[in-house]
């Protein structure tokens, strides 16, 4: 049997860990670094580059360099988030026949799952080279607030490269495993996780090896990329004011500015001022133009303060849901590279009234937790740790007049199963359509449709007489399954909640052949 690895497949960087004995260890990539840019690039000579190599040539080949693909996983092309992303990225997006957002490269459509699979393949190769053995299984992490579509898409990406996902685990939960494993302390902790693309807050109680998530909340569209974009917009505006030249359509210039913006942002976590110097950013009749701008930490904070503040209501909601106050939180753990920003540290310190823990590496803690989870699942640490996670979103069905009925409330411990009875609304109705949704709105139309299925062959009866029991299950990966049963005929129709989105098995097989 091959090795199991824990993978933190991040929006901007990914990280891999494994268990050596009972100790989690980071696996360096082929360049010897602990994290790998989640970037794939296709060169003009037909070569495919991943990670640092891909990142290095992004400036000269922006249209064929795919960054932040995680933001598109499990997303519909016409969603608000994809619309926003479309205006920000330099590669092209298109709509797949089932409405999903896909990458368009030389008139070929590539799903986000396939791009993610390319990154996973590289990470798997790095692990195999480091461990000197085959890697066949993985525990893979996802943002706690990922919905069913996004979780399934992540699992499919792993399947494409022959990695069996033995568990999908939420990133903050994973981080807390590392913390609990290292400290062996009983505590109520808050994990504040903001990486390249997503934000999560998870409140958890650790008690004699039992890790119980109390509440989780977040936004799968708030991350470091948004901070970079604010600097980028500022630089473009300033350049326009000074030179009367609009760089917003110049892809090469945009890629260079984006990289410089991210670099300056990182620097400003440690310095008060950073110089952004981009010579020959464009040229015109009067000669070449350059960007040379000083960005201060104060200005960066002014440009991004609202992004930081945007996270606070999610924390308040999680506290409300778990009936905790800030005074009940013993430790605050920061996860994700973006938490190095001093404004975030200050805001979180003020919010909770305590300093976050210092000695934890926010880039590695998630992958390490995934490695620990692999040990738990394989029975190595079973007696030491019991992990009780929750579902981040309510699951329910659409009823008459656009009313959403919750069957499983958010923050219910998983795996879980709940049933509810439904009846017909017309006389002699033989068929009942059940529309499964995920979300928190009272209105069905404002929640995310997961699937529609039909219960057929209901006995003829007056309206309101048949009794149909619908059972919802959420498994340990946070994925939903629904079944329905006509109580009188005993007829059952089981479904998997994934027909209206994502890849079919046939599509996955096709991708496996060409990957």
**Minimum CB distance to ligand AMP smaller for 112 or for 396:** 112
Residue 270 is classified by DSSP as T
Annotation marks residue 426 as catalytic: no
Give the residues lining the site for ligand AMP (CB under 6 A). 10-13, 195-196, 224-225, 262, 265-266, 269, 336-338, 340-341, 363
* Cα–Cα dist 395/57, whole Å: 43
**Minimum CB distance to ligand AMP smaller for 74 or for 466:** 74
Residue by residue, DSSP assigns 380-393 as SSTTT-EEE-B-SS
Which residue among the candidates 100, 147, 156, 193 is catalytic per the annotation?
Answer: 193
Annotation marks residue 481 as catalytic: no
* Min CB(15)–ligand AMP separation in Å: 7
Instruction: Look at the alpha carbons of 181, 122, 220, 228 in this order and tell me if their dihedral is positive or negative.
Output: positive
Which residue among the candidates 171, 200, 205, 226 is catalytic per the annotation?
Answer: 171
Contacts of 298 (CB under 8 A, 6+ apart): 272
**Minimum CB distance to ligand AMP smaller for 35 or for 411:** 35
Q: In what helix (H) or strand (E) does residue 66 lie, and over which residues does it extend? A: strand 65-66
* Min CB(12)–ligand AMP separation in Å: 4
**Minimum CB distance to ligand AMP smaller for 156 or for 228:** 228
* Min CB(263)–ligand AMP separation in Å: 9
Alpha-carbon dihedral angle through residues 455, 460, 462, 466, given to the nearest 10 degrees: -40
Annotation marks residue 8 as catalytic: yes
* Min CB(134)–ligand AMP separation in Å: 27
Task: With H, G, I as helix, E, B as strand and everything else as coil, classify residue 254.
Answer: helix
If one counts every other C-beta atom within 10 angstroms of the C-beta of residue 75, the result is 25
* Min CB(13)–ligand AMP separation in Å: 4
**Minimum CB distance to ligand AMP smaller for 256 or for 265:** 265
Q: Which two tokens stand for residue 308?
A: 């930081």
Annotation marks residue 80 as catalytic: no
Q: Which two tokens stand for residue 274?
A: 């950073």
Instruction: Look at the alpha carbons of 32, 37, 39, 44 in this order and tell me if their dihedral is positive or negative.
Output: negative
**Where in the sequence numbering do the catalytic residues fall?**
8, 70, 171, 193
């Amino acid at each position: 049997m091959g090795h199991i690895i824990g993978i933190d497949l991040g929006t901007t960087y990914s990280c891999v860990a494994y268990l050596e004995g009972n100790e989690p260890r980071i696996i360096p990539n082929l360049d010897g670094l602990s994290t790998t840019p989640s970037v794939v690039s296709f060169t003009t000579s037909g070569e495919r580059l991943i990670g640092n190599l891909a990142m290095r040539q992004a400036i000269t080949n922006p249209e064929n360099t795919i960054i932040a693909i995680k933001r598109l996983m499990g997303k519909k092309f016409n969603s608000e988030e994809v619309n926003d992303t479309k205006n920000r990225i330099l590669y092209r997006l298109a709509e797949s026949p089932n409405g999903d957002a896909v990458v368009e490269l030389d008139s070929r459509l590539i799903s986000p799952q396939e791009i993610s699979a390319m990154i996973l393949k590289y990470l798997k190769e790095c692990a195999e080279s480091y461990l000197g053995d085959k890697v066949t299984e993985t525990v893979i992490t996802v943002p706690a607030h990922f919905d069913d579509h996004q979780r399934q898409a992540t699992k499919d990406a792993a399947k494409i490269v022959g990695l069996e996902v033995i568990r999908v685990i939420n990133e903050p939960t994973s981080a807390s495993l590392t913390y609990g494993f290292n400290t062996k302390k009983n505590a109520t902790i808050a994990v504040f996780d903001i990486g390249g693309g997503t934000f999560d807050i998870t409140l958890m109680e650790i008690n004699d090896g039992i890790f119980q998530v109390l509440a989780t909340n977040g936004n799968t569209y708030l991350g470091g990329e948004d901070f970079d974009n604010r600097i980028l917009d500022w630089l473009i505006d300033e350049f326009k004011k000074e030179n009367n030249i609009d760089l917003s359509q110049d892809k090469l210039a945009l890629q260079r500015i984006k990289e410089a913006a991210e670099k300056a942002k990182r620097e400003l976590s440690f310095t008060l001022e950073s110089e952004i110097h981009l010579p020959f950013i464009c040229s015109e009749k009067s000669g070449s133009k350059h960007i040379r701008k000083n960005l201060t930490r104060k200005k960066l904070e002014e440009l991004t303060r609202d992004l930081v503040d945007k996270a606070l209501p999610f924390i308040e909601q999680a506290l409300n849901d778990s009936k905790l106050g800030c005074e009940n939180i013993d430790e605050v753990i920061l996860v994700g590279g973006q938490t190095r920003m001093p404004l975030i540290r200050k805001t979180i310190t003020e919010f909770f009234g305590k300093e976050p823990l210092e000695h934890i590496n926010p880039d590695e803690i998630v992958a390490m937790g995934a490695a620990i989870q692999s040990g738990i699942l394989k029975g190595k640490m079973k007696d030491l740790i019991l992990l009780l996670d929750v579902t981040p979103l309510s699951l329910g069905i659409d009823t008459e007049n656009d009313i959403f009925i919750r069957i499983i409330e958010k923050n219910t411990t998983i795996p879980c199963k709940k049933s509810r009875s439904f009846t017909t609304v017309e006389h002699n109705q033989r068929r009942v359509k059940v529309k499964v949704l995920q979300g928190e709105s009272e209105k069905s139309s404002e929640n995310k449709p997961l699937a529609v299925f039909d219960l057929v062959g209901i006995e003829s009866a007056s309206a309101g007489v048949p009794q149909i029991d619908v059972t919802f299950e959420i498994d340990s990966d946070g994925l939903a399954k629904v079944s329905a049963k006509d109580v009188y005929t005993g007829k059952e129709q089981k479904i998997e909640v994934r027909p209206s989105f994502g890849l079919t098995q046939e599509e996955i097989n096709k991708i496996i052949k060409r990957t």
